[in-house]
Structure formats: C-alpha cells, structure tokens
Amino acid sequence: MAEILTVQNDGQTLRFDFVKLITMNDSVVPPVERVASSADAFARWLASPAFRALLALTLVFLVGCIFNADGAFFKAGTHRDALRQASVFGILACGMTLVIITAGIDLAVGSVLALCSVSLSLMAIHWGWSAWVTIPTVLIIGLGCGAVSGMLTGRFGIQPFIATLAMMVFARGLAKTASGGMKVSTAVKTADGGYEFVGVPALFRWVDSRVLGGNVAMVSVIFLGCAVVAWLLLSRHVWGRYLYAIGANEEAARLSGLPVAWAKVMAYAACGLFAGVAGICQAAQELQGDPEAGSGYELTAIAMVVIGGTTLSGGRGGIGLTLLGTLIIGYLDKILSINAVPEASRLMLTGAIIIAAVFAQRRGGSR
C-alpha cells in the first residue's frame, strides 16, 4: 500500500502519494503488485492461441513418439519428407492468412495452383521458355486471379465465399482448357500424332532439389521465404495494420478513412500470388502440370490457418500461428501415413481437429 502524506497549508488539506512523490513515475511497484501482474501475464499467455498451438504440436510429437512405426518417426528422412509435403499447403496458408485476417476467405487457391502449374509446364516444357520468363508470367497469372477475386469482394461488395467460389470454378476450367484436359508432362505431342519425350527443365530440377547436405528440400526453403515475406507485410508494413483493422471492424475502418477496398484487393491479390508460387512448386515436384492438381488444397490451407489460432472472424492472428498450424497438420498427416492409416480416416480426423480448434478459439475469445 502507498503511504499518503497529508499537509495543512492556508486552511487547505493537500494529499500526496508518498511513493509517487519520491519516484516521480510508476517505476516503483510494490512486490505484491509485481507478483500479481506477472501471474496475470502468465495466465494470459496460457490462454493465448500461440500456447494452445504449441501444446497441440507437442501432443502431436508425443503421438509420433508413441506410434513411431518401428522407429520410422525418429529418422531424419521422415521429418524432411513431412516438411516437404506440408510446404505447398503452407505456402497457400500464408496467403490465406492475409485474407482471413480481413474476415474473408479464398476458396480459389487450389484451382489457381492448378492453373499456374499447367501454365508453368506449358511454358517451360512444351514451349522451352527460360525461367526468367516463365516464373514472372506464372506469378502474374496467380496475382491476377487473386486481384479479380479481390475486386469482386472489395469494389463490388460480393461476399468472399461467392466471389472466390466463382474464381475457383473459372480457374479450374481455364486450367483444363489450356491443357486440353490432359496432364502437361515431358511427353510432347508431335505433328504426326506421336509423342516425343523432352528433358526436364532446369527450373524443375532446382525447385525439386535438396540443400544442406540433402537434409532440407528446396520447397521447404521456399515456404520459409514466403512465410517471412508474409510476416513482414503483416507486422512491418502499414498495409498489414489496415488488414487487422478491416477484420476487427470494417465499417469503423472505412469511417476512419482507411482504404478498405484497396487493402482487400491487395490481400486477395497477394493470396493469388502465393498460390502461383505453390503452383510452381507443385509442378516441379510432380514434373508435370496437372489440371486436377490442388483439389481440396484450399480446405487444408484454411485448416492450417484456423488450427494455428487465426480467427475466422478476422482481426486476430498472424503468420507465426500459421507456421504452427502447418507443422501440426503436416506432422499429424505424416504420423498417420507411416502408420498406414487410410486417407479417409485422416480426412475425418482433420475435420474433427478443425471443429476442436474453432471451439478453442471461441472459449479463448470469451475470456
């Protein structure tokens, strides 16, 4: 308790807080209050999305240690493959995080991935274009698809679900049209109706390579780079502040003079750009462009974002949480895979985990 000093001066009673009078600031805090403050901070951290995601990831690792498939979980190759397999989904999740923070959603990322994968394969394999031309072109295609979705949502007021659903169907149809409904591989059709096999482009070999003595896949490095870029945009750029403000209260953000429409268009455009990067990685790993690729990928990307702790209602979340969500889903899928769990069971388990994550968010938000 602070000491109160009372002084009589010309008939007036003056009261001084003795602690504040000595320190002239609030730097001196009684020990009891310091303990209470530390306890409150620790309690808030325990209730935070980051702690829940870390706890979930720890439980997944414990499950892997118990059901290790005769020691397969303890091998370095298992972890390398788990990260590689989750990287394409993680790249999509980075873009999805930007959109979900605005209280939106993008259902088109899987189809945009397929379109970019087919486009890259046509340009690099069939047409023989260099990487300096194909990569920017593919990224522009992805960015353009996302920008159209953003325009429909931000400028014309169409619900994100409807706008991105339309883009999902359109991009998938465009991918099938461009490829003729067939996989674009190194088997190139000749004028006489036969097929001629060509070499795998150097770009494909580079993206599908490994670094650090073969212990880390290049796709995982690309995923990490995408995560860093998304983190910088969200936490170090004013546009990231706009996204959080829009997700928290779009009308208040508009009345405050923020460029709401522009910010939302850029969020969906960035999401499409990340889908383009994922399409490049997908084509390089499969050594072909498949118009059916990416089917259902948008749901996995959304699951990674939500399980990490970014709220679907917008205004809260971040790339760090998405990284945790990616690791949770990636390792869980790998553990189930090495234990020969059927894919149908894996899908059902993923759906149950999403529901559990949403309930955890609601419980945490009500505190």
pLDDT tens, position by position, 252-303? 999 999 999 999 999 999 999 999 999 999 999 999 989 999 888 999 999 8
At 351, which CATH number?
1.10.3470
Q: Are residues 287 and 353 in the same domain?
A: yes
Place of tokens 């990928």: 297
Q: Are residues 41 and 62 in the same domain?
A: no
What mean pLDDT value characterizes the chain? 84
Q: Are residues 155 and 280 in the same domain?
A: yes
At 325 the pLDDT is 92
Q: Are residues 169 and 241 in the same domain?
A: yes
Place of tokens 């953000």: 253
At 24 the pLDDT is 42
Q: Are residues 14 and 116 in the same domain?
A: no
Residue span of the structural domain in which 291 resides: 52-365
Residue 323 DSSP code: H
Q: Are residues 135 and 209 in the same domain?
A: yes
At 69 the pLDDT is 84
Q: Are residues 117 and 39 in the same domain?
A: no
Torsion angle (degrees, nearest 10) of CA 99, 104, 110, 112: -70
- The C-alpha atoms of residue 101 and residue 104 are separated, in whole angstroms, by 7
- Is 307 a residue whose pLDDT tops 80? yes
Give the pTM: 0.84
Confidence band, pLDDT 50/70/90 cuts, at residue 135: very high
At 7 the pLDDT is 42
- Is 5 a residue whose pLDDT tops 90? no
Q: Are residues 35 and 175 in the same domain?
A: no
CA-nearest of 363, 331, 322 to 349 is 331
Q: Are residues 64 and 23 in the same domain?
A: no
Q: Are residues 164 and 28 in the same domain?
A: no
Domains held by the chain: number: 2
Q: Which residue has the higher pLDDT, 250 or 340?
A: 250
Number of helices and strands in the chain (H, E) = 15, 6
Which of the residue ranges 189-203, 316-330, 333-347 would you say has the lowest mean pLDDT? 189-203
Q: Are residues 116 and 1 in the same domain?
A: no
- The rounded radius of gyration (Å) of the Cα atoms in the chain is 26
At 36 the pLDDT is 56
The winner for highest mean pLDDT among 172-176, 177-181, 201-205 is: 172-176
Amino acid letter for position 330: G
Q: Are residues 7 and 100 in the same domain?
A: no
